[in-house]
Amino acid sequence: MNAVDPTQPYDDQNIFAKILRGELPCEKVYEDEWALAFHDIGPQAPIHILVIPKGPYVSLDDFTAKASDEEIAGFCRAVGRVARDQGLVEPGNRSIANTGPDAGQIVAHFHVHICGGRPLGRMIPE
Ligand code: DGP
């Protein structure tokens, strides 16, 4: 899959938009008014969950520029809630938001990865 160009407008045919509309399945772990959380299809840690906002945002950049304070607060609370519900606060976890080609973003709907369940090593490999 090609890397996302984060300067492009939102494309409502992206995979996560289809998951939000119920056109594609997901293994849901949490949902509220602001966010949906589900297991990553290719987990890179024992626990690897994606949290996505309900609104149409390409990236963290787009989200923080355009979303309302209510959406941002609701989404951030959902990320925290999912990590808590998964028991990942005490042992620790890593939340990652990839933006654009240098970060390897492949899905053009803003998402936060929550990874945990084992020691995760250095944040950015040499
Ligand atoms: P990123 O590189 O940050 O854009 O990561 C996108 C993640 O999305 C990647 O870890 C794999 C995951 N993914 C891609 N397609 C699907 C899908 O159809 N279902 C689920 N659950 N995850 C997906």
| Cα of 49 from ligand 1 centre, angstroms | 10
All domains of the chain, ordered by start, with CATH?
Answer: 15-116 (3.30.428.10)
Residues with a catalytic annotation lie at 111
Whether 14 contacts 108, CB under 8 Å = yes
Residue 72 in contact with ligand 1 by CB distance below 6 A = no
| Residue nearest (by alpha carbon) to ligand 1 atom 17 | 41
Average pLDDT over residues 16-35: 98
Select from 73, 69, 90, 87 the least CA-distant residue to 32.
73
How large a percentage of the chain has pLDDT more than 70?
100
Helix, strand, coil % over all residues of the chain, rounded to 5: 25, 20, 55
Residue 87 in contact with ligand 1 by CB distance below 6 A = no
State the pLDDT at residue 92.
Answer: 98
Could you tell which of 15, 44, 49, 59 is best to mutate to test the pocket of ligand 1, judged by most ligand atoms within 8 Å of the CB?
15
What's the rounded Cα separation, in Å, for the pair 11 and 28?
Answer: 22
Lowest-pLDDT range of 14-23, 71-80, 105-114, 116-125: 116-125
Residue 98 in contact with ligand 1 by CB distance below 6 A = yes
Give the pLDDT band (50/70/90) at residue 52.
Answer: very high
**Which atom of ligand 1 is least distant from the CA of 24?**
18
Average pLDDT over residues 93-117: 98
pTM of the model: 0.97
